[in-house]
Amino acid sequence: MRGRRARERRKAWLLVAPLSIGLVLFLVLPCLGVVAMAFSDWHLGQENIGFAGLDNFSELANDAVFRRSALNTIIYALSVTPLSVLLGLMLALLIESSTLGRAFFRSAFFLPVISTTVAMAIVWEFLLHPSLGPVNALIAALGLPRQGFLNDAALVLPTLAGIGIWENTGYNMVLVMAGLKAIPQDLYDAAAVDGAHRPWERFWTVTLPLLGPTLVFVVVISFLRSFRVFETVAAITQGGPRRASEVILFTIYQEGFVFFRIGYASALTVAFVVVLFALTLVKFRFLDRRVHYG
């Protein structure tokens, strides 16, 4: 008996070994490397590497650029997440409620997700161009003043958030659709027997509670996705004007690969991951408590 269990255990280890080795090699070790470098003063390409203690972290605490970009990122994530989840949910319900053109709408709204963000960013830049773009042509035709959506420090972050919502809504929609498919029809029938006839009642008593787990997942995923915003900023604004659109990943990229300050960039990364991890934990805890798992 015991020999067999040991054999099985060995087999189990053998089976997970390839994955585990890969994980350690390509995930755990590089992460530890980043943590180690966060305590160094290393500049990319330099031969000597020195121990910097907590210097990087104390610089981080006093870095106005980092504070600005952290704040921008939070504002961005807090506007993109709720709106893209809500819109995704609405679109999913709308499309699933009728068979008319379902396939077409589904792919139309999913298109932004599969298209290359950088290419789309350039299209957006043109659409929003103050004197050449169609959006401003429309605004001017209405007799309103042209707007520098991407060049005005007050408008740039909301504009980027708008692009983010456009990009994430389709993704959330597909996830919600999958959740909708998993709701058994008999529950709707039962609700109808109990007197829930109006669509709103059915949504409130059946759809939403059963969609709970999916929605938690969607919220967390789209929060994490929007926290990682980078491409639109790098392709269009480079964090400008005057850092109004500087986000954390862009700051890390600049420090590490434009200024070559790997030590400091690593410290930023560590701080970023810790915060993100903490937020995710809190979210799951908080939302889990209110979710009904069927």
Partner 1 sequence: MKQHVSRRGAVVVFAATAAVAAGLATPASAQRAIEVVVQYTQPQIFDKVFDQLKADFEAENPDIKIKFRGAHKDYTAGIQALLREAVVGEMAHVDYVGLSYVSTIDQRGLAVDLAPLMRADNSTFEKGGWTPPLQSLGKVGEKQLGLPFALSMSLVYFNADLVRKAGFDPAAMPRDWDGLLKVAGKVRALGPDIAGMYMPYASNWYGAWYFQGVLFGLGGEMMPPGAQAVAFDKDPHFQRAFGLYRRMVDEGGFVPLADQAARQQFIAGRMGLFIDSISRLNNFSESIGDRFRLGTSPHPVGSEAARLPSGGNVAIITKAAEKDPAVLAAAWKWLKYSTGPHGTNQVIRNVGYTPVNVLALEDPKLLKGYFDDRPLHKTAVDQLPLVREWFQYPGTNAIKIDEAIGQHLESVVDKSMTPDQALVSLTKEVNRLLPR
Between residues 130 and 212, which has the closer beta carbon with respect to partner 1? 130
Look at residue 111 and give its three-state secondary structure. Answer: helix
Calpha distance 163→174 (Å, rounded)? 18
Piece of the chain touching partner 1 by CB under 8 A; list 125-133, 177-185, 201-209, 269-277: 125-133
Q: Copy the structure tokens of residue 206.
A: 């059946």
**Per-residue contact flags (x/-) with partner 1 for residues 160 to 199, judged by CB under 8 A:** ----------------------------------------
Closest approach of Cβ 36 to partner 1, in Å? 15
Report the residue from 93, 241, 275, 279 that binds partner 1 according to the rule CB under 8 A.
241
Phi, psi of 272 (to 5 degrees): -60, -45
125 binds partner 1 (CB under 8 A): yes
Closest by CA position to 264, among listed 72, 41, 82: 41
**What DSSP element (H or E) covers 218?**
helix 208-227
Residue 250 identity: F
26 binds partner 1 (CB under 8 A): no
62 binds partner 1 (CB under 8 A): no
Calpha distance 117→147 (Å, rounded)? 23
CB 239 within 8 A of CB 246: yes
Closest approach of Cβ 259 to partner 1, in Å? 5
Give how many residues touch partner 1 by CB under 8 A. 30
**Per-residue contact flags (x/-) with partner 1 for residues 76 to 115, judged by CB under 8 A:** ----------------------------------------
Q: Which residues of 37-49 are buried (b: 16+ CB within 10 A; e: fewer)?
A: bbbbbbeeeeeee
User: Where does this chain bind partner 1 (CB under 8 A)?
Assistant: 43-47, 122, 125-126, 129-132, 146, 148, 150-151, 153, 236-238, 240-243, 254, 257-261
